[in-house]
Amino acid sequence: MKKIRNWPQVEYKEKYSHLVKKHPCFSEEAHNTFGRIHLPVSPACNIQCRFCKRGFNKWENRPGVSRRMLTPEEAVKIVERALALCPQITVVGIAGPGDTLATDHALKTFALIDQKFPWLIKCLSTNGLLLKEKAEQIINVGVKTVTVTVNAIDPMVLKNICAFINYHGQYLAGENAARWLALAQLRGIEKIAQLGVVVKINTVLIPGVNEHHVEEVARLTAEAGASLINVIPLIPQHDLKNCRPPDCQELNLARTAAEKYLPVFRHCKQCRADACGIPGAKVDLANELYDEPQLTFSHG
């Protein structure tokens, strides 16, 4: 990995300006001007984060939730309808409700989207477990930006956040799972960044668990090739339902610490897996795109 240095924000913006200026989840300016649509096509996840609870409904405004699951072919039609509703959409993202690389649904969807809408920015979000081995496939379907959720690098910290992983049928839990996941994430970030993809890190801030570790996450992912970081507050649920979310001071301290190594995106809305619209406008158009919610989700 390259030697760490303090990031120059001017260099970052110049190098990736053609993407950053039109990506509402990577740029403060774009956040209020351009739109994005999330396509819920990924049906399964290969890890279990202790704060993660997947579901299908209309009312929860958080990651991991959508109204229904789409097939890749249905997703293309949804994008057509979304563009008619919101011509300002510049980004097609896939962020769940499962992991985008745990099945081939997301990559198939991106391939179809790239054929029909080559001008749209394709953005993939992943836990990073399979990022390195699928890096070339990601490039081949037109993805230009990738978000990797990295909540800790130290296995002793990460084991309190990630309960288990399922790597090609091999089940690992505890410290072993954490060590495997952290290494896979760093190697995956390094590989995909070397291929020219812009990498953003998402880190969920959990008081009493990883608040002291966010700076190290930023440092090591910057070494691996990440371009910016998004530190977001815990939404207490699942195993961490009794853990409080961070207050504003804790969140600002963590972001300031991370900013020593990476630019910090500070406008994340922690969107649903089927969100649609301009994030900064606080208007979601997904109700006009989807029918009744489904009721199932799987890990595996």
- Give, for all 300 residues of the chain, the pLDDT tens digit: 443 444 444 455 556 667 777 777 776 767 667 888 999 999 999 999 999 888 766 767 766 778 889 999 999 999 999 999 989 999 999 988 999 999 999 999 999 999 999 999 999 999 999 999 999 999 999 999 999 999 999 999 999 999 999 999 999 999 999 999 999 999 999 999 999 999 999 999 999 999 999 999 999 999 999 999 999 999 998 889 899 999 999 999 999 999 999 999 887 777 788 888 877 677 778 788 875 444 444 444
- Is residue 299 in some structural domain? no
In a domain, 158, yes or no: yes
Q: Give the predicted TM-score (pTM) of the model.
A: 0.89
**Domain of 52, in residue numbers:** 9-284
Kindly give the pairing relationship between strand 143-149 and strand 198-205: parallel
Q: Is residue 295 part of a domain?
A: no
DSSP letter, residue 136: H
How far apart are alpha carbons 123 and 34 in whole angstroms? 14
Domain contains 199? yes
**Pair 136, 113: CB distance under 8 Å:** no
Residue 160 lies in a domain: yes
Instruction: Specify the number of domains making up the chain.
Output: 1
- Give backbone dihedrals phi and psi of 277, rounded to 5 degrees, phi first: 135, -170
Q: Is residue 4 part of a domain?
A: no
> Looking at the domain assignment, is residue 296 inside a domain?
no
Q: What is the CATH number of the domain that holds 154?
A: 3.20.20.70
